Chains A and B, each alone.
Chain A
Amino acid sequence: MNLPVIIKFVIDLLAVLLLALGIKGLSKVKSARDANRLAAFAMSLSVIGLLSYYLGTSGIAIESWIWIIIGSIIGSLFGAILAKKVPMTSMPETVALFNGCGGMSSLLVALGVAIFPVSGGQENFDFFKSLINEVSISVSIFVGAITFTGSIVAMAKLQGWLSTPGWTQSKVRHFVNIVFAVASLIAFFDLINGNTSSIWLLVIVSSLLGIGVTLPIGGADMPVVISLLNSYSGIAAAAAGFVVDSQLLIVAGAMVGAAGLILTQVMCKGMNRSLVSVLFGGSLSAQSTASSGSAEYTNITSCSVEECALTLEAANKVIIVPGYGLAVAQAQHTLREVTKKLEQNGIEVVYAIHPVAGRMPGHMNVLLAEADVPYEQLKEMDVVNPDFPATDVVLVLGANDVVNPQAKNDSSSPLYGMPVLDVQEARTVFVIKRGMSAGYSGIKNDLFDLSNTSMVFGDAKKVLNDLIGELKDLGVGEK
């Protein structure tokens, strides 16, 4: 072993160690931020290790440097700008987009190696000589393409650019996806047999498969899909590691792939759904249209902001249930002002966080943390559920499916079995909502029909602003 090899070996080992520590630290609140920086440092280290290895052995040509610099600057710049500019509310879409680009990168590497194996006449690229390389190229392309198109579709759906087309809810989609899957397999084996041209077939069909699998999924299942796609991008990276013969890539990719699978499992558990039903069950709304018998609301009580303020003033204990509507209205800071006033009046305020409130687990925590809500006031579902009977007022802010009592009471409901917040147990429930439209799942919410529920119609931010005014008039929080 010569020196560059030894140096690279040591740096790689160090990078793997730091990456592992990073992932570990990211799963604890206290260490998470440092862990993230540690992982970022490990990644930079790995680049230095690789470049120094090539400098010490074959050397790096000027033209290579030029293309390295061009690619790095453009990619980093766009990534940094997007990361800085994007509002906290669009985190899920952003993660999906980043993830898709990681998949695209693995896909391109494999394509590059596959298309130009001998074109330069160098022996560097006789990768195609061995079966193993053909397999790893195919896997890298297959998984990379699925990750890319799947993530882009997920992003577009979360952004609202894309809705769930009707045909994807029928059985047809299973047929279509099976066709894509079989076609990918054929292309896969054709490629391994040495037919290089079928690489394009593989790219196209696996891209379509990514779209076909993600498109029918909707509602609260979206975060699970993003997490799963994240796991895929790790697998794609590991496959690319086999292509270019890099242990570091394989370890890091495998770690992300496995950790992503565990995270996906944890998320599924939070929703009481199995991964299989998320992937193949279709979106909830489609199933619910069948049981449309109870789709009409019969007993809606709407009330003014003033009434709401009066009730809040008289309360001892208030629980806030935030949801995606809060994120859309960007009302987290206004909400914080309202609760500050209530607290100054000696009213106990707690936030009930459903595991899948918003469009991504932890979405609400991030949002409320941005508005300086103390961490201790955020209560998880299992902790807060026994408290509802002793609660005077519940404010539901843009949450819908996660407070639907159907999930407990109606075994015919598609939501049945999903753990929900038992807000109806409280004395009074105010639901602040723009209109009577259904939640993301498209299912009627029985909560709205209950006699202790009042609807306050309006944009969350505007209603909360009015609420601050009303509370001021009542002299709340002004001592």
Chain B
Amino acid sequence: MSFISLLWVLLLGSLLGLELIGKVPPTLHTPLMSGANAISGITMLAALTLIVKAEGNVPLLIIGSVSLGFALFNVVGGFFVTDRMLAMFSRKPSNKK
């Protein structure tokens, strides 16, 4: 991909992000933050790329692996913790009966 088209991707992605969140009720501020935070762990793909392309370079493999670990810690933990928070909201209607 050429640099210019990557810039387009950046621009459109930013606009999409700005557009997606209109009105957020304060209740959801924490879960939304934590969910978006989990998505930012998408750097795991970069770490994977690094490992795959390392071609036997051990220090690079290690750096990639550590980076992958940090990213997955972010992703897995982030989604789980968000789900735990949101489970408490969605439990409400069924309990009221």
Question: Do chains A and B stick together as partners?
Answer: yes
- Listed in ascending order, the chain A residues whose CB lies under 8 Å from chain B are 19-20, 22-24, 26-29, 32-33, 35-37, 39-40, 43, 46-47, 50-51, 54, 58, 60-61, 63-64, 67-68, 70-72, 74-76, 78-80, 82-84, 86, 88, 91-92, 94-95, 98-99, 101-102, 104-106, 108-109, 111-113, 115-116, 119-120, 122, 124-125, 132, 223, 226-227, 230, 233-234, 236-238, 240-263, 266-267, 270, 353, 355, 360-363, 365-366, 369-370, 372, 374-375, 378, 380
Give the residue of A50, A61, A226, A238 whose beta carbon is less than 8 angstroms from that of B45.
A50
Nearest Cβ in chain B — how far from A96, in angstroms?
A: 9
- Listed in ascending order, the chain B residues whose CB lies under 8 Å from chain A are 1, 3, 6, 9-18, 20-57, 59-92, 95-96
Known A75-B72, A116-B60, A255-B13: A237·B82 in contact at CB below 8 Å:
no
Beyond A27-B21, A253-B40, list 13 extra A-B contacts (CB 8 Å): A22-B35, A27-B20, A36-B82, A75-B76, A99-B74, A101-B41, A247-B6, A251-B9, A254-B11, A256-B39, A258-B14, A267-B29, A362-B29
Known A72-B68, A263-B33, A375-B89: A254·B40 in contact at CB below 8 Å:
no
- CA separation between A226 and B23, bound complex, in Å? 20
- CA separation between A302 and B22, bound complex, in Å? 45
Q: 6 closest A-B pairs (Cβ-Cβ)?
A: A258-B17, A254-B13, A79-B77, A75-B72, A361-B29, A71-B68
- CA separation between A256 and B43, bound complex, in Å? 12
Give the residue of A37, A46, A263 whose beta carbon is less than 8 angstroms from that of B42.
A46
Report B-chain residues with C-beta under 8 Å of the C-beta of A244: 45-46, 49-50
For the residues of B in contact with A, the DSSP-based class is: helix
A366 touches B64 (CB 8 A): no
Report B-chain residues with C-beta under 8 Å of the C-beta of A234: 17, 36, 39-40
Chosen A-B contacts, 14 in total, with CB atoms closer than 8 Å, are: A26-B35, A71-B51, A75-B69, A76-B72, A78-B73, A82-B73, A99-B40, A122-B55, A237-B42, A242-B6, A245-B1, A260-B36, A266-B24, A362-B28
A257 touches B65 (CB 8 A): no
Report A-chain residues with C-beta under 8 Å of the C-beta of B85: 88, 91, 366
- CA separation between A452 and B41, bound complex, in Å? 51
- CA separation between A258 and B16, bound complex, in Å? 8
Nearest Cβ in chain B — how far from A140, in angstroms?
A: 9
A47 touches B48 (CB 8 A): yes
Known A50-B48, A237-B42: A259·B68 in contact at CB below 8 Å:
no
Known A27-B21, A102-B43: A365·B36 in contact at CB below 8 Å:
no
- CA separation between A19 and B56, bound complex, in Å? 33
B49 touches A83 (CB 8 A): no
- CA separation between A267 and B83, bound complex, in Å? 22
Known A39-B35, A266-B24: A102·B70 in contact at CB below 8 Å:
yes
- CA separation between A257 and B52, bound complex, in Å? 27
B73 touches A230 (CB 8 A): no
- CA separation between A107 and B65, bound complex, in Å? 13
Nearest Cβ in chain A — how far from B36, in angstroms?
A: 5
Q: Nearest chain-B residue to A267 (Cβ)?
A: B29
Report B-chain residues with C-beta under 8 Å of the C-beta of A106: 43, 46
Report A-chain residues with C-beta under 8 Å of the C-beta of B48: 47, 50-51, 68
- CA separation between A102 and B37, bound complex, in Å? 8
A26 touches B63 (CB 8 A): no
Nearest Cβ in chain B — how far from A43, in angstroms?
A: 6
Report B-chain residues with C-beta under 8 Å of the C-beta of A76: 72-73, 75-76
B73 touches A75 (CB 8 A): yes
Most buried by A among B11, B60, B71: B71
A32 touches B34 (CB 8 A): no
B17 touches A256 (CB 8 A): yes
Nearest Cβ in chain B — how far from A149, in angstroms?
A: 14
B55 touches A61 (CB 8 A): yes
- CA separation between A444 and B81, bound complex, in Å? 35
A98 touches B77 (CB 8 A): yes
A36 touches B20 (CB 8 A): no
Give the residue of A109, A270, A370 whose beta carbon is less than 8 angstroms from that of B26.
A270
Report B-chain residues with C-beta under 8 Å of the C-beta of A47: 44-45, 48
B70 touches A43 (CB 8 A): no
Give the residue of B39, B61, B63, B77 whose beta carbon is less than 8 angstroms from that of A108.
B63
Q: Nearest chain-B residue to A19 (Cβ)?
A: B39
Q: Nearest chain-A residue to B67 (Cβ)?
A: A108
Q: Nearest chain-A residue to B82 (Cβ)?
A: A36
B74 touches A226 (CB 8 A): no
Give the residue of A99, A245, A267 whose beta carbon is less than 8 angstroms from that of B37.
A99
A253 touches B42 (CB 8 A): yes
- CA separation between A64 and B48, bound complex, in Å? 9
Nearest Cβ in chain A — how far from B63, in angstroms?
A: 4
Report A-chain residues with C-beta under 8 Å of the C-beta of B91: 369, 372
Nearest Cβ in chain A — how far from B79, in angstroms?
A: 4
A29 touches B79 (CB 8 A): no
Known A64-B54, A365-B27: A112·B60 in contact at CB below 8 Å:
yes
Report A-chain residues with C-beta under 8 Å of the C-beta of B86: 32-33, 36
Give the residue of B17, B50, B79 whose beta carbon is less than 8 angstroms from that of A255.
B17
A98 touches B36 (CB 8 A): no
